[in-house]
Amino acid sequence: MDSIQNKYELAKKVTSEVEKRRDAINNEADKMQAAYNSKLNGYQQRAATMTEEQAIAAREDMESTQRTMMEKRQALDQEFGQWASSKNLSLMKDIQDYLKKFNADGTYSFIFSYEPGFFYYSNPANDITSEVLKGLNQQYSSSSKKE
């Protein structure tokens, strides 16, 4: 799998997309936290001059803001997880479809695990990684030119 991740152009592209999206989510969470901290600092600076009603309203506002932030982060994480899983499943399907064509003559035996993202060859003496990677990259190159 490390060869696939390091040398298959589509896998590198998917990895890059996943990392960029994860970074964007983290940046959004950081912005939400900074806004929360700024609001909290504002309330803390005015705390000595607040009435009891204002203090209660401020505490309720901060609790509401914190709940909203947590819900937003959970939603972003869930959406990201589903999206990343979809990308990885699509990648594995591309590989499996290619391997079916590659092994049309039945020369090789493959064992695919049921764990997403991993597959193994049954006979290490027949390591065809470089041939498979070359074919996968050619297939990806052809299909990306069509788009």
Task: Encode pLDDT of 49-85 as tens digits.
Answer: 999 999 999 999 999 999 999 999 999 999 999 999 9
99-106: long-range contacts, CB 8 A cutoff, minimum separation 24: 99/132, 102/128, 102/131, 102/132, 102/135
pTM for this prediction: 0.72
At 86-127, the pLDDT tens digits run: 999 899 888 878 877 877 787 766 545 445 555 544 555 667
Q: Identify the sign of the CA torsion 122, 133, 23, 145.
A: negative
The full set of domain ranges for the chain reads 2-146
Look at residue 48 and tell me whether its pLDDT is greater than 90: yes
